[in-house]
Amino acid sequence: MNDNQFDKIDKLLISKSFDQLSASEKEMVLQTMTKEEYMSMHQLYEQINESQPDEIEPSLNVKSKLDKVFLQHHRKERFFMLKTPLYQSAAVAVVFFLLGFGLNYFKQTPERIIYQPKEIVRYVDRPVKQIEYVKVIEKQYIQSTDNSIKKSDEETIQQRTQNEIAENNNYLNGDSIGESMENDTLLKQMLVTLN
């Protein structure tokens, strides 16, 4: 059966019973199917047209759910698809760059010197002279690399030393007579006791 035949027979099945067909139509129909087949198919078409099934209505719940989804979806989309002109975007980028640059320029990071110990191991096969520089209190020791101490300093040192010796001799000779005091050293206390 070609397309034309189908179209014609389809129209006939919808509109005419077998008895209502013309002789030429019957001839065309019978080339494709039997009389009984035509009659049953025509009945089927009629029945289908007559007995349209009952229709149902969609519940309101469906629409409200879809509305929520629609709002959520397009709210997100609007945010991401916000159209800003290129020059505005470029201007914002420049402002941010300058702001960052300025902050870095004016910001002085505090500097702190850190002495990191550096350990050096040297293997030597001969005697090595090691000079150690020690930091000492100036009152007790006076060191000088070139032995060029000033005269006034020398005198001061000599006088101070003599005073100290005399003080000690006084203790030993009993020139210092008196009682021991709370703040006296143990040696002084012993000297007072002996006297």
Backbone angles phi, psi at 83, to 5 degrees: -95, 120
Of residues 173, 139, 132, the one with CA closest to residue 156: 139
Min dist CB 56 to another protein, Å, is 6
CA distance 32 to 2: 10
Residue 55 to residues 43, 51, 52, Cα–Cα distance (Å) = 23, 12, 9
C-beta of 51 vs 144, nearer to another protein: 51
Q: Does 30 bind another protein (CB under 8 A)?
A: no
**Token output for 129:** 């002279």
Q: Does 139 bind another protein (CB under 8 A)?
A: no
Q: Does 37 bind another protein (CB under 8 A)?
A: yes
Applying CB under 8 A, which of residues 30, 39, 180, 195 lies at the interface with another protein? 39
Residues in contact with another protein, shown as a per-residue x/- string from 60 to 99 under the rule CB under 8 A: -xxx-xxx-xxx-xx--xx---------------------
Q: Does 19 bind another protein (CB under 8 A)?
A: no
